[in-house]
Amino acid sequence: MTVIFSKKCEIGIQAILYLATEGEKELFNAHQIAEKVKQPKEFVSKVLQTLTSSGIVGSKKGKNGGFFLNRSANKVRLIEIVETIDGLDIFNNCVLGFPGCSSEEPCPVHDEWGRLRDEAYKMLSEETLEDLIDITKTKLLTLH
């Protein structure tokens, strides 16, 4: 089985979506977040630590510490999370695995797949966390 985004990236997105539902600067520790998104606490913690370097997430150490959404939900796009964790290789490399695939030297599905790929990139670049809050709230309630 393959996936489009790594497990790390999936967890990162889920955790940040949860923070977005709660509001900017609201503090939650890794344990609380992990419970909401039903993922392992250690992994959530690790991934959110990585995301603090991008400025999307802020953290507070020590007693009463935790993580918080550091920017307004309408200022954060999904692509930033993807880029921080997985990088953008998936949008640049050949889907068939041919090296050096380009418009000049295309693989046989280069144009069509490239179009879908660009649309995917565009979608991730345009959607902000704010756009996704309502459905995320509902979705999180279904997890158990």
Q: Rounded distance, CA 87 to CA 7, Å?
A: 13
| Long-range CB contact pairs, 134-137, < 8 A, 24+ | 136/17, 136/18, 136/20, 136/21, 137/21
Give the span between the Cα atoms of 10 and 33, in whole angstroms: 14
Tokens read off for 42:
């250690």
Residues 30 to 59 in contact with a second copy, rule: CB under 8 A: 38
What is d(CA 45, CA 88) in angstroms, rounded to the nearest whole number?
A: 23
Could you give the CA distance from residue 51 to residue 59 in angstroms, rounded to a whole number?
A: 10
- Under the criterion CB under 7 A, does residue 108 sit at the interface with DNA? no
Identified binder of DNA from the candidate list 4, 21, 25, 29, rule CB under 7 A: 29
Nearest of 59, 60, 44 to residue 9 by alpha carbon: 44
Using CB under 8 A, which of 17, 19, 76, 79 touches a second copy?
A: 17
* Nearer residue to DNA within complex by CB, 65 or 108: 65
142 binds DNA (CB under 7 A): no
For residues 2 and 53, which CB has a smaller minimum distance to a second copy in the complex? 2
**CB of residue 58 to a second copy, shortest distance in Å:** 22
Binding track, positions 96-135, relative to a second copy; x by CB under 8 A: xxxxxx---xxxxxx-xx--x--xx--x---x---xxx-x
Give the chain's radius of gyration (CA, Å): 17
Q: Is 6 in the site for DNA (CB under 7 A)?
A: yes
Q: How far is the C-alpha of 120 from the C-alpha of 116, rounded, in Å?
A: 6
Q: Which residues bind a second copy (CB under 8 A)?
A: 1-7, 9-11, 13-14, 17, 38, 78, 86-87, 89-90, 93, 95-101, 105-110, 112-113, 116, 119-120, 123, 127, 131-133, 135-136, 138-139, 142-143
Q: Which residues bind DNA (CB under 7 A)?
A: 1, 3, 6-8, 29-31, 40, 42-43, 45-46, 48-49, 52, 59-67
